[in-house]
Chains A and B, each alone.
Chain A
Amino acid sequence: MSGRLSILIAEDSAADRMLLSTIVSRQGHRVLTASNGLEAVALFEQERPQLVLMDALMPVMDGFEASRRIKESAGEQLVPIIFLTSLTENEALVRCLEVGDDFLAKPYNQIILQAKISAMDRLRRLQQVVLQQRDLIAKHNEHLLTEQRVAKAVFDKVAHSGCLSAANIRYLQSPFALFNGDLLLAAFKPSGGMHVLLGDFTGHGLPAAIGAMPLAEVFYGMTAKGFSMAEILREMNAKLKRILPVGVFCCATMLNLSFQRRVVEVWNGGLPDGHLLRVASGERVPLVSRHLPLGVLEPTAFNEAYEVHPLLPGDRIFLLSDGVLETHGASGQLFGEERLLEVFAAGHSPERLFDEIQAALAAFRGEAQDDISMIELSMVEDGLLARPALAFSDSGQSSPLDWSVSFEFRAEALKRFNPLPFLLQLLMEVRGLRAQGGALYTVMAELYSNALEHGVLGLDSRLKSDAQGFARYYRERGQRLQALSEGFVRFSLDVVPEAGGGGCLRIRVEDSGKGFDVARALDRPQDKECLSGRGMRLIRQLTHHCQWSPDGRGAQVEFRWPA
């Protein structure tokens, strides 16, 4: 049995009105009466009854027009209207049901009337429940979106877009890619190169986004401290493995782009092939996944082995999320690898390719896509990109100014340990050096790789004169390092204050190698330097003073800073 309702009766005949009000109020409802349509509308707006019994034909305003106004005024609420009518033509009855919800023929039958009021009340309550649930869902959804906005705001602080705005980068990413599990990170290394990571977490929503934070934290933190790509990958894998539940992991491609050495190091774990396009030959080198995604393997089983490719200015690298290949066409088929390769093979000029891929996707899907991530990186001349100054989290007030220290890294250490971030962290404690932090990183990296590769490992840089030799060089480097049983690289650092408040840093690097002919190396003509031998000239440019010991087994450089 329905509860007590407030019911409006609009009927112009006094006897009928009286009869009906009596029936309805005897059934336990509160009754309001009107003798024409206009009165009915006014009374409805004033009293907001829950149900209306409406005579179809009335003077002043008929029941159809009154019903239309009442429905309009009721808005989303269902106020059922039952037409009272002795009309018999089908079309008149149909009209009652178009404007109202039911009709009741004269003469009135009180049992039928009661049943109809109950039925309409059920309908009214149902509509109320639907509206409440709709509002509840809307509220939950709004709540969810707010949470996502907050999460995104926090995430954007941790996993800011880094140097994605650099001139050699173009990228495409939805503002809410995070919640598709997509992640695009790029950062300048202190030595001037660039680390880039395209990641794709399993799943959707917050669970997919949550792993992005520690990943970004490691990526930016370690890159800023001068760690190598291999070390960063190892740490990211270990961290994700530790914190993510089984089944949640991150397919990723990471690049280490060096503008000075003109190489790119590539590690791909589970993402679709990247593509390296050589502008001179038109050759396309696929950057294939050779590893499991990050967060799958135990740290001991993780393999950070990467490929090294030489690059020339103008060469381009494309990385894409699998959203690109999995873009659906109008009839449900996938965009797929082949269609992508067709775009690459179509002979577009290199600088048009990024747009052409986008255009091909849009044409395939028939609408703009917003759930894909794609990045294009160009090799440029060293020094062409504007770089931000190195950022430090401490104030630099406690700056030690008069010390010297010496480290010797021997075979077992050289195999497993990269001493550069450690040494550079130490040097960055000296406030006066921070302004030239980038140069210091670059010079230290060059000195170390010269000492290790040409000195301890005895590799000949002339190998790197073409792409094949280049690959051989890095293969040899790996093998010789693995087999290393003796040898050392020694760093001696000497920080002294100078009269007037400035200071000077002297770095001496020695190695156990055979040495080299210093004079000949410095005289080597510039045009042979496309893939190698850039190191020494660079060091001369970036330091205040530098000299090589005559036997080629040591180098000494100086950095000075003013008061």
Chain B
Amino acid sequence: MSDIHLDQNVLASLLDVMGEEYPVLLDTFLIDSEERQRHIHEAMAAADAQALRLAAHSFKGSCSNMGAPMLAGLCKQLEEAARRERLDEAPTLVEQIGREFAIVRILLKSERQRYR
């Protein structure tokens, strides 16, 4: 059910790859994601389409690696809008990204609890 938010198969293979470092990876992603969203907000505030595109693109890459397909999809839409310089579409998408990230964070935190 929650696989559209967080893909369990991806998490399983990340665990396999990272071993003991798995919780650290999750922490790193969460901290880095705050940073990415801050960049997105700054770019939108400055109406800098290029910076917005870059920030969305970068966040999209991390989300896909961490198995958050819906969040990655929203980032991709934002990246596209920025590429087309449709900054009017940005606020809605950014808000959706914020909400989706809130869900992903909850899911990751609970995942994190299992490897204390």
Interface set of A (CB-CB < 8 Å, partner B): 12-16, 18-19, 22-23, 26, 55, 57, 59, 84-87, 106-108, 110
Query: In whole angstroms, what is the CA distance A341 to B31 when docked?
Result: 92
> A57-B54, A57-B58, A86-B61 given as contacts; is B29 within 8 A of A110 (CB)?
no
**How distant is the Cα of A87 from the Cα of B76 in the complex, in angstroms?**
10
26 sample A-B contacts, Cβ–Cβ < 8 Å, listed by A number: A13-B36, A13-B62, A14-B28, A14-B31, A14-B32, A15-B28, A15-B29, A15-B33, A15-B65, A16-B61, A16-B62, A16-B65, A18-B21, A18-B28, A19-B14, A19-B17, A19-B65, A22-B18, A26-B17, A57-B57, A85-B61, A86-B64, A106-B61, A107-B10, A107-B64, A110-B17
Q: A15-B65, A16-B65 are in contact. List 9 more A-B contacts (CB 8 A).
A: A13-B58, A14-B29, A15-B33, A55-B61, A57-B54, A86-B61, A107-B10, A107-B64, A108-B65
**Residue B81 is within 8 A (CB to CB) of chain A in the complex:** no
Whether B24 lies near A18 (C-beta < 8 A) is: yes
Chain A neighbourhood of B54, CB < 8 A: 57, 59
Chain B: residues with CB nearer than 8 A to chain A? 10, 13-14, 17-18, 21, 24-25, 28-29, 31-33, 36, 54, 57-62, 64-67
Listed residue (A13, A14, A18, A108) with the most chain B CB atoms within 10 angstroms of its CB: A13
Find out whether the CB atom of B58 lies under 8 angstroms from the CB atom of A12: yes
B13: chain A residues at CB < 8 Å are: 110
Contacting residues, chain B, for A12 (C-beta < 8 A): 58
Q: Inside 8 A of A86's CB, which chain B residues have their CB?
A: 57, 60-61, 64
By DSSP majority rule, is chain A's interface helix, strand, loop, or mixed? mixed
Q: Nearest CB to that of A89 among chain B residues?
A: B83
Closest to B39 in A: A59
Q: Which residues on the B side are within 8 Å of A107 (C-beta)?
A: 10, 64-65, 67
Residue pair A13, B61 in contact (C-beta under 8 Å): yes
Instruction: Give the residues in chain B near A14, CB-CB below 8 Å.
Output: 28-29, 31-32
A15 close to B66 (CB less than 8 A) = yes
Report A-chain residues with C-beta under 8 Å of the C-beta of B17.
19, 22-23, 26, 110
A62, closest chain B residue (CB) = B54
CA distance A115 to B96 in the complex (A): 38
Q: Is the CB of B58 within 8 A of A15?
A: no
Complex-state Cα separation, A57 to B36, whole angstroms: 14
Cα separation A110 to B36 with both chains bound (whole Å): 25
Q: Which residue of B lies closest to A110 (CB)?
A: B17
Instruction: Give chain B nearest CB distance to A284 CB in angstroms.
Output: 84
User: What is the distance, in angstroms, from A96's C-beta to the closest C-beta of chain B?
Assistant: 14
- Residues of chain A within 8 A (CB-CB) of B61 are 13, 16, 55, 84-86, 106
Find chain B residues with CB under 8 A from A85 CB.
61
Contact of B25 among A19, A59, A87 (CB under 8 A): A19
A151 to B: closest C-beta gap in Å: 65
In the docked arrangement, what's the CA distance between A264 and B33, Å? 101
Which residues of chain A are near B65, meaning CB under 8 Å? 15-16, 19, 106-108
Q: In the complex, which residues of chain B have a beta carbon less than 8 angstroms from the beta carbon of A13?
A: 32, 36, 58-59, 61-62
**B84 to A: closest C-beta gap in Å:** 13
Q: Which residue of B lies closest to A58 (CB)?
A: B58
The reply to whether A15 and B21 form a contact with Cβ atoms under 8 Å apart is no
**B residues less than 8 Å from A84 (CB atoms):** 61
Q: Are B25 and A15 in contact (CB under 8 A)?
A: yes
Say how far A65's CB is from chain B's closest CB, in angstroms: 14
Q: Closest CB of chain A to B31's CB: distance in Å?
A: 7
A15 contacts B32, CB within 8 Å? Answer: yes
Q: Which 9 A-B pairs have the closest CB atoms?
A: A15-B29, A107-B64, A86-B61, A14-B32, A107-B65, A106-B61, A13-B62, A15-B28, A106-B64
A23 to chain B, nearest CB (A): 6
> Taking each of B14, B24, B62, which has the highest tally of chain A beta carbons within 10 Å of its own beta carbon?
B62
Q: Which A residue's beta carbon lies closest to that of B64?
A: A107
A86 vs B80: C-alpha distance in the bound complex, in angstroms? 13
Residues on the A chain within 8 Å of B31, using CB: 14
- Distance in angstroms between the alpha carbons of A87 and B83 in the assembled complex: 12
CB distance from B101 to the nearest CB of A (A): 13
Q: Shortest distance in angstroms between A259's beta carbon and chain B's nearest beta carbon?
A: 91
Asked if A22 and B21 make an inter-chain contact with CB atoms under 8 angstroms apart, the answer reads yes
Q: How far, in whole Å, are A353 and B54 apart by their CA atoms in the complex?
A: 77
| Chain A CB within 10 A, most for which of B31, B36, B58, B60 | B58
- How distant is A287 from chain B, measured CB to nearest CB, in Å? 84
Shortest C-beta distance, A367 to chain B (Å), equals 55
Please measure, in the bound complex, the distance between the C-alpha atom of A184 and the C-alpha atom of B17, giving whole angstroms. Answer: 78
A315 to chain B, nearest CB (A): 87
Chain B: minimal CB distance from A219 (Å):
82
Question: Who on chain B is nearest to A12 by CB?
Answer: B58
Q: What's the least CB distance linking A17 to chain B, in Å?
A: 9
Q: What residue of chain B has the Cβ atom nearest to residue A59's Cβ?
A: B54
Nearest CB in chain B to that of A88: its residue: B76
Min C-beta distance of A112 to chain B, whole Å: 13
Considering the chains assembled together, what is the distance between the CA atoms of A59 and B36 in angstroms? 12
Contacts of A110 in B (CB 8 A): 13, 17
Distance to closest chain B CB from A115 (angstroms) = 16
Q: Which residue of B lies closest to A13 (CB)?
A: B62
A85 to B60, CA, bound (A): 10
Contact residues in A for B29 (Cβ distance below 8 Å): 14-15
Query: A17 — nearest CB in chain B belongs to which residue?
Result: B28
Q: Find the B residue at minimum CB distance from A108.
A: B65
Chain A residue nearest to B18 in the complex (CB): A22
